[in-house]
Amino acid sequence: MKTAELYVNKRYVIGDISPMMYSSFIEHLGRAVYTGIYQPGHPAADADGFRTDTADAIRDLRVPMIRYPGGNFVSCYDWKDGIGPKEQRPRRLEYAWSSIETNQFGIDEFCRWARKTGVEPMIAVNLGTGSILDAGHLVEYCNHPSGTYWSDLRAKNGSPEPYRVKYWCLGNEMEGSWQAGHLSAEDYTKKALEAAKIMRWVDPDIKLIACGSSYEMLPTYLEWDRIMLDQLLNQVDYLSTHSYTMNAGQGTTNFLAAYKALDTHIKNTRRVIDYVKARKNSDKELGICLDEWNVWNFQDIELKSLDDLLSLTTFKITSAGRWEVAPPILQEKYSLLDALTVGGLAISLLKNADSVKIACLAQLVNVIAPITTAPDGGILRQATYYPFRTVSELGHGAVLDTRVTAPTYACQFGETPIVEPVAVLNDETGELNVFVLNCDPDSDVRLTLTGEETYRLARHQALYGNDLTAINTFSQPDRVTMRELPVDGGLAATLPRMSWSALTYRKA
Ligand code: AHR
């Protein structure tokens, strides 16, 4: 068996984990909203038509905040379509995903659902085809107490109390030509600045998230952020970036090592923030908002070349026709291998806890999601549900600056230690939790904690198995799940080959 050592010293801290680290995302896309979280008439639906089985699974995931309503969807969305009597709401072509939007679920339903589910809403405004005044009106509708057209309309629509939405995204992926109303960095800067101004005039307490760049393949990558932050650094609170990881035939160990690419992605975003701050001699705290991250294998998207990504007109979704209501699209099936990779990505998020202040797993229900719902049945927890739930349960406190000594392997990122750990110290519970990926395809690894010898291993949960392609299905829902492994009360744990583990240490 191979061996490795993790050196931990409680005095060396990377940063505290933000309570918003385990947020998520629900877009009006496919079956995320309709038949996902909202399905009047379903046996598990409550009086509002919200599926209580889905809400229970979300609570179980301990998701603190959910971004809504998009995504690419938001850039064609008029939020006013989704308020008022349901029978009068317009049925529209939804251009971003070639679907039909019935508008039976809108901002009031989302805020009500969020309150019932116990999550904080995070709302994106349309800065593609929408106006800056529409953005201001939406803040007024949600947050102004009463006595004006928009706030009284909210009361008339059933919510006299304001929603007090605190987190607002200034558009979505505005750097991409696939985005409706895509803008150059200069034009986005002007529009976002004016929208921010109006939105803050309405409610000075809101937190604003500016669109940064997300896609390394774009020529504007990071240059977009530099141009935009030059004007917006002091006007916004967070910089958004997105990162999806795809298994595109690069080989198992290369795919498992995707945490390294996410680490670089986050660090590059931080570098551009620091560059702008350095030029301005500013000590402004600007958190990174990684408001879309996940494994996404494009199982139903036909891409002839990467150029197709730049234009949705040549971007074919094979799982449904055009112009359907709640089409079953982007319903990725996640394997054990995908779940291990998600676990690795979560380790990179934690290791960057000093910069990442909000992170949203994209998405949450049915669409590239850990939770699947059957329209005529119950729910299924996909393989990726489990590493996410484990970190959202145990990953609270301070991330420690550790050192690892381990054999290495060669992957597309160079010589890489076979284990990738992160240690989190929780002062409240007194626990030291170590999340660790073992990328070795052949060998278990005996990992020993050093430096804090007063701790003892109290619990070892692991995700592993011989069949990396295994998935959970409605007939076999527990094929991929966390499993308990024996502990001997010492400092070491045996990490199965190709596994993701959560090791809980307690003071002896
Ligand atoms: O999450 C799916 C899509 O991915 C979102 O709509 C968009 O923001 C991103 O490109």
pLDDT per residue as tens digits for the range 90-114: 999 999 999 999 999 999 999 999 9
Give the Å distance between the CA of 279 and the centre of ligand 1: 32
**Residue type, position 499, single letter:** S
Q: What is the mean pLDDT of residues 121-128?
A: 98
Residues 177, 125: contact at Cβ < 8 Å? no
Has this prediction a pTM greater than 0.85? yes
Q: Residues 292, 420, 431, 452: which is the catalytic one?
A: 292
Domains 2-9+399-507 and 18-394 in one fold:
no
- What is the predicted pLDDT for the residue at 312? 53
Q: What is the mean pLDDT of residues 234-249?
A: 96
Among 34, 309, 334, 352, residue whose Cα is nearest residue 176: 309
- The three-state secondary structure class of 443 is coil
485: burial class by Cβ within 10 Å (0-12, 13-18, 19+)? middle
- What is the predicted pLDDT for the residue at 313? 53
Which CATH fold topology does 2-9+399-507 show? Immunoglobulin-like (2.60.40)
Indicate if the alpha-carbon torsion angle 429, 293, 405, 11 is positive or negative. Answer: negative
Does ligand 1 come within 6 angstroms of the Cβ of 69?
no
- The three-state secondary structure class of 345 is helix
116-130, 150-164, 306-320, 436-450: least confident range = 306-320
For 179-238, write each residue's pLDDT tens digit: 999 999 999 999 999 999 999 999 999 999 999 999 998 999 999 999 999 999 999 999
- What is the predicted pLDDT for the residue at 446? 98
User: From atom 7 of ligand 1, which residue's Cα is the shortest distance away?
Assistant: 71
- What is the predicted pLDDT for the residue at 215? 92
Does ligand 1 come within 6 angstroms of the Cβ of 363?
yes
Q: What is the mean pLDDT of residues 163-169?
A: 98
User: From atom 6 of ligand 1, which residue's Cα is the shortest distance away?
Assistant: 71
Largest CA distance in the chain: 71
Percent of the chain with pLDDT over 70: 98
Q: Residues 173, 175, 332, 452: which is the catalytic one?
A: 173
Tokens of 125: 């405004």
- The number of the ligand 1 atom at minimal distance from the alpha carbon of 330 is 2
Instruction: Please tell me what DSSP assigns to residue 473.
Output: -
- What is the predicted pLDDT for the residue at 308? 63
- What is the predicted pLDDT for the residue at 304? 72
- What is the predicted pLDDT for the residue at 302? 84
Does ligand 1 come within 6 angstroms of the Cβ of 139?
no
User: From atom 2 of ligand 1, which residue's Cα is the shortest distance away?
Assistant: 71
Q: What is the mean pLDDT of residues 243-264?
A: 95
Helices 107-117 and 52-60 meet at what angle, rounded to 10?
A: 60
Q: What is the mean pLDDT of residues 327-340?
A: 97
What lies within 8 Å, CB to CB, of 245 at 6+ separation is: 255, 258, 261, 262, 294, 295, 296, 341, 345
Q: What is the mean pLDDT of residues 361-389?
A: 98
- What is the predicted pLDDT for the residue at 316? 82
Does ligand 1 come within 6 angstroms of the Cβ of 172?
yes
For 45-81, write each residue's pLDDT tens digit: 999 999 999 999 999 999 999 999 999 999 999 999 9
For the chain, the average pLDDT equals 96
The DSSP result for 40-93, as a single string, is: TTSTTB-TTSBBHHHHHHHHHTT--EEEES-SGGGGG--GGGGSS-GGGSPPEE
For 294-324, write each residue's pLDDT tens digit: 999 999 988 776 666 665 555 688 999 999 9
- The number of the ligand 1 atom at minimal distance from the alpha carbon of 172 is 8
Does ligand 1 come within 6 angstroms of the Cβ of 173?
yes
- What is the predicted pLDDT for the residue at 253? 92
Structural domain boundaries in the chain? 2-9+399-507, 18-394
Domain covering 18-394: architecture: Alpha-Beta Barrel (3.20)
Is residue 140 among the annotated active site residues?
no
pLDDT at 465 over 80: yes
Phi-psi region of 402 (alpha: psi -120 to 50; beta: other; left: phi over 0): beta
pLDDT at 89 over 60: yes
Is residue 428 among the annotated active site residues?
no
